[in-house]
Every structure is written in structure tokens, then in C-alpha cells.
């Protein structure tokens, strides 16, 4: 049987975290058949056997390091599922996330669904946001514009974009959109793809019926290399056609 959900996970020497996530998938995800497409962006010795789970774990080791977009696009090319899931290795499950997310995707106007993301302490992370703008970035840098962009209660929320740590797509929608833009090496790939989906008429959905835990590393806050990637991706987005078209649409609606 072809796997219903193909899960793409990329490890950057994160074998222990990955082991815990695979154990979670094995424990909780039994309602739908899954396959895991595991990409090792750097060679590493894994602390588990890929054949020890109740689902296939297909391991691919890169001959050179790729960015977020390239890794997940290459995984999609090998995927068999009708649904394609992008998941970070630093995610932990507290139940099966897929029934609620798949239920959201039954609405043909929804292009991508995502769970509510909690931090390790249980607080809700700001994983569903309005599109960034230079003014909003400046406001946050100066200590303003805090708090969540969208209140999350019981109903599905339709934000501008959801974070790439956990995204679920129908296969045909991901393919139709062209996948992630590989000109973004790291950061803003999720923002860009959600912008392009919205320009195609699809909604982005945050589904409060399911929650996951995120063990955030916040690399761009500690590393100049990651910070430079973050800034470069931000500037690329601000001069991109999707961002400019979104801005034009919203300006013309107000006038």
C-alpha cells in the first residue's frame, strides 16, 4: 500500500532528537499509514536501526549540505504519499497530530495545515503570524509589536503563514506550488511558500485540534552565520514578487 502521509525530516547531527521523534511517531501515529523520508544533511551515526519501526524509514545521506528548501524538495521527489508533511527533528508529539490536520485539509480551499506549537514549558509559541514587513521587523527589534498575531481558541485560524517546523500539504498542492523556493537556503522558505499559496487562492490553516511540542534552538540568536542567513532571507523576501504582490493586493483593498 502506498503511504498516505510521507513525512520529510532533515537531521543536522540531531540523531538523539530524531530518535525521540521517531519513537513518538511509532507510539502515536497508527490511524494512517506513514513513511518517513529521513535526510542526513551531514554524515552521522544514528542511535537506532531504521528498520525497527512499524513504518518505513528511508534514509538518504547528502553528498553536500543542502538548505531547508532543497532537502525537503528532494524528499518530496521520493515521496509516495498522497499527503506530504514537513517536520523538524526537534518536534515532540503528545498524540497523533494527523487526524485533525487531515480533517482541515478536507476543505479544498486550504493549501496547508499546521498544529498549534507549544514550547517546552507548555506556553503557546507564535508559530502562526502575519506576513513580516520592514516596519513590523523594526517594531519588534525596538521591543514593540509583542504578543501573538492571532488568538487561538477552538476554531480553525487562518493566518498569513505558519512556521515550517510542521506543515502538512496535499501532494498535488505542494507540486502545483512548485514546492519551497531553493533560493532561500535557510529561513523564510515557509513565509514565501505560504505567500505563494495565498496568491493562488488557498488558505493557510492552524488547527487547534492538535498540538505538538517544539524544542527550539534559536540558532540565529547565537550564531553570526545563522543570523546572516536570516537577514539575507528576510531581504530576499522583501524584494520578492510574492511579497510585493501581497502588499499591492492589500493596499488596493484598503483604497
CATH for 102:
3.90.550.10
**Parent domain of 85:** 5-254
Contacts of residue 254, Cβ cutoff 8 Å, sequence gap at least 6: none
What is the domain count for the chain?
1
pLDDT band at 145 (very low <50, low <70, confident <90, very high): confident
Distances (CA, A) of 157 to 127, 133, 154, 206, 237: 12, 21, 9, 5, 24
Task: Answer yes or no: are the C-beta atoms of 128 and 217 closer than 8 Å.
Answer: no
- Nearest one of 212, 196, 3 to 100, comparing CA atoms: 212
pLDDT at residue 3 in the model: 64
Distance CA 184, CA 62 (A): 18
Question: For 85-100, what is the mean pLDDT?
Answer: 97
pLDDT at residue 34 in the model: 97
Task: Please give the mean pLDDT across all residues of the chain.
Answer: 92
- Nearest one of 102, 83, 105 to 171, comparing CA atoms: 83
Number of neighbouring beta carbons within 10 Å of residue 96: 17
Residue range 77-89, pLDDT digits in tens: 999 999 999 999 9
pLDDT at residue 74 in the model: 98
Give 3 or 36, the one with higher predicted confidence: 36
Number of neighbouring beta carbons within 10 Å of residue 87: 22
Amino acid at each position: 500500500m502506498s503511504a498516505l502521509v510521507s513525512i520529510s525530516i532533515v537531521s543536522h547531527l540531531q540523531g538523539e532528537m530524531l530518535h525521540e521523534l521517531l519513537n513518538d511517531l511509532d507510539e502515536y501515529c497508527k490511524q494512517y499509514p506513514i513513511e518517513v523520508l529521513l535526510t542526513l544533511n551531514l554524515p552521522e551515526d544514528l542511535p537506532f536501526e531504521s528498520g525497527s519501526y512499524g513504518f518505513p524509514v528511508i534514509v538518504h545521506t547528502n553528498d553536500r549540505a543542502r538548505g531547508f528548501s532543497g532537502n525537503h524538495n528532494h524528499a518530496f521527489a521520493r515521496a509516495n504519499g498522497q499527503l506530504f508533511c514537513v517536520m523538524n527533528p526537534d518536534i515532540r508529539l503528545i498524540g497523533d497530530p494527523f487526524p485533525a490536520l487531515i480533517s482541515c485539509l478536507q476543505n479544498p480551499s486550504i493549501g496547508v495545515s499546521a498544529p498549534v506549537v507549544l514550547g517546552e514549558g507548555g506556553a503557546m509559541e507564535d508559530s502562526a503570524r502575519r506576513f513580516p514587513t520592514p516596519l513590523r521587523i523594526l517594531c519588534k527589534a525596538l521591543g514593540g509589536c509583542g504578543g501573538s498575531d492571532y488568538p487561538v481558541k477552538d476554531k480553525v485560524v487562518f493566518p498569513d503563514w505558519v512556521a515550517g517546523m510542521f506543515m502538512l500539504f496535499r501532494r498535488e498542492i505542494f507540486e502545483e506550488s512548485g514546492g519551497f523556493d531553493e533560493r532561500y537556503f535557510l529561513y523564510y522558505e515557509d513565509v514565501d511558500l505560504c505567500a505563494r499559496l495565498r496568491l493562488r487562492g488557498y488558505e493557510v490553516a492552524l488547527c487547534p485540534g492538535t498540538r505538538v511540542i517544539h524544542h527550539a534552538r534559536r540558532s540565529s540568536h547565537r550564531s553570526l552565520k545563522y543570523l546572516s542567513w536570516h537577514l539575507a532571507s528576510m531581504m530576499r523576501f522583501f524584494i520578492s514578487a510574492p511579497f510585493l504582490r501581497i502588499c499591492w493586493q492589500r493596499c488596493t483593498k484598503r483604497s
